[in-house]
Amino acid sequence: MTDFSHIRGKITYDRPLADLTWLRVGGPAQMFYQPLDEDDLQSFLKTLPLDTVVFPMGVGSNVIVRDGGISGAVIRMGRGFNHIEIEGDHVRCGVAALDAHVARKAADAGLDLTFLRTIPGAIGGAVRMNAGCYGSYVADHFVEATVITRAGEKRQINADELEFAYRQSSLPDGWVLTQAVLKAERGDPVALHAKMDAQLKKRDETQPTKDRTAGSTFRNPAGFSSTGQADDTHELKAWKVIDDAGMRGATLGGAQMSTKHPNFLINTGGATAADLEGLGEMVRKKVFQTQAIELHWEVLRVGEPAPKK
């Protein structure tokens, strides 16, 4: 039995995860760890047997945890990792800082990270997935990040090491991001906040923001995000190919593809993770059958299916 008595953070076993995800589904984590700070996280990873799988988790906005839960250690990055500090034209933020909070605090300081305002989730996930919208991506602003490797070593990594691409990076499995530094251009705070207000208004008009979703379900086949500009084309957008396949509003159990925006997977109440993932796979199959386009998941699916009865 591994001795974790020196760990200052909280360790819980068989901790249910459904209440920590935006979709409100999923089984338990075999081990659930909430580090106090970077030193505590280093100690934990050095102590944890190397063959134990590690899954870092933020606010659970972009994930389906399968009904059988997650074997290994789920590391929930919380209060010790939600700082936001302005350093000239740079913003240093902990990975648990919400994207929206970073955008607002940057705007207060006259720094333009407005693209983050409508992205659900926290900075850790935004970096890992190279989140973006309105033609801007994390990669465009990224300076460096601090990580704790699976072996418990603290490192600084740059953009070249992360190899950013559309909705992905090459962060090694088991490495845990703790903070990131983003650079931003100067702008007028009033104008920046007005810009974000307009973005929020447009989002609420076009997306099911009141429903249980995990944000965009699939990556755009076009290979880039919506720009929000008047000349933005809808060809090869995920929502468009789903709509063309007749899957707007499609259901499976308690899962539904939104009627408002068909690239949003919704838990209408009582959905299981199997319902949600199964409906997503139905959509992928139908889009491929009708248009020969292969959709790729943007939402992470992690864990094991429920045991068969």
Tokens of 287: 């889009």
Can you tell me the mean pLDDT for 121-150?
95
Confidence label for 202 from pLDDT (cuts 50, 70 and 90): very high
pLDDT at 231: 46
Closest CA to 248 of 223, 236, 266, 267: 266
Residue 163: active-site member: no
pLDDT at position 59 over 60 = yes
Name the catalytic one among 167, 212, 219, 284: 167
Q: Are 11 and 4 in contact (CB under 8 A)?
A: yes
Residue 167: active-site member: yes
Q: Are 165 and 130 in contact (CB under 8 A)?
A: yes
Percent of the chain scoring above 90 in pLDDT: 91
Percent of the chain scoring above 70 in pLDDT: 96
CA distance 65 to 250: 21
Can you tell me the mean pLDDT for 233-253?
91
CA distance 52 to 287: 37
Can you tell me the mean pLDDT for 270-289?
98
pLDDT at 134: 84
Residue 216: active-site member: yes
pLDDT at position 267 over 80 = yes
Mean pLDDT, the chain, integer: 94
Predicted model pTM: 0.92
pLDDT at position 65 over 60 = yes
Q: Are 67 and 26 in contact (CB under 8 A)?
A: yes
Name the catalytic one among 61, 169, 216, 226: 216
Confidence label for 283 from pLDDT (cuts 50, 70 and 90): very high
Can you tell me the mean pLDDT for 77-84?
95
Name the catalytic one among 38, 61, 136, 298: 298
| DSSP, residue by residue, the chain | ----TT--SEEEEEEE-GGGSTT----EEEEEEE-SSHHHHHHHHHHS-TTS-EEEESSSSSEEE-TT-EEEEEEE--GGG--EEEETTEEEEETTSBHHHHHHHHHHTTEE-GGGTT--SBHHHHHHTT-EETTEEHHHHEEEEEEE-TTS-EEEE-HHHHT-BTTB--PPTT-EEEEEEEE-EE--HHHHHHHHHHHHHHHHHHS-TTSEEEEE-B--TTSS----STT---TT-HHHHHHHTT-TT-EETTEEE-SS-TTEEEE-SS--HHHHHHHHHHHHHHHHHHH-----B-SEEES-PPPP-
Q: Are 171 and 224 in contact (CB under 8 A)?
A: no
Q: Are 93 and 102 in contact (CB under 8 A)?
A: yes
User: Cβ contacts of residue 19 below 8 Å, gap of 6+?
Assistant: none
Residues 21-47: tens digit of each pLDDT: 999 999 999 999 999 999 999 999 999
CA atoms within 13 A on the CB side of 172: 10
